[in-house]
């Protein structure tokens, strides 16, 4: 009797263990979901930080901050002050490095 019980019980317990680890709500899936949650939280934090920077930039532009306006004009539009020299550094031709 004990032998029959063991013959049935071991595969049953093994299948339950496999289900608990790899099943639809198993440990493996939970681990993957937790990892994805951490990635998404990190991404949200980065986006929020970028949003705060842009909001501050918008506020400064609305107030007419001359330093920021000059910075953006130079960086985004390549503008220069009268009398300044512009140096354009070209990439090396193809085939040469």
HSE, side-chain direction, 13 A CA sphere, residue 76: 6
pLDDT of 26: 84
To the question of pTM greater than 0.75 for the whole model, the response is no
d(CA 3, CA 5): 5
The pLDDT tens digits of the residues spanning 74-92 come to: 999 989 999 998 888 999 9
> How far does the chain reach from its first CA to its final CA, in angstroms?
80
The continuous run of DSSP H or E covering 4 comes out as helix 2-22
User: Is residue 94 scored above 70 in pLDDT?
Assistant: yes
- Chain mean pLDDT for the chain: 89
| Residue 85 to residues 67, 77, 81, Cα–Cα distance (Å) | 20, 15, 9
């Amino acid at each position: 009797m004990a032998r029959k019980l063991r013959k049935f019980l071991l595969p049953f317990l093994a299948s339950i263990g496999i289900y608990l680890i790899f099943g639809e709500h198993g440990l493996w899936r939970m681990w993957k979901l937790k990892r994805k949650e951490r990635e998404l939280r990190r991404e949200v934090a980065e986006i929020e930080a970028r949003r705060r920077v842009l909001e501050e930039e918008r506020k400064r532009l609305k107030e007419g901050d001359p330093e920021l306006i000059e910075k953006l004009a130079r960086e985004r539009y390549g503008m220069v002050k009268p009398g300044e020299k512009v140096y354009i550094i070209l990439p090396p031709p193809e085939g040469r490095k």
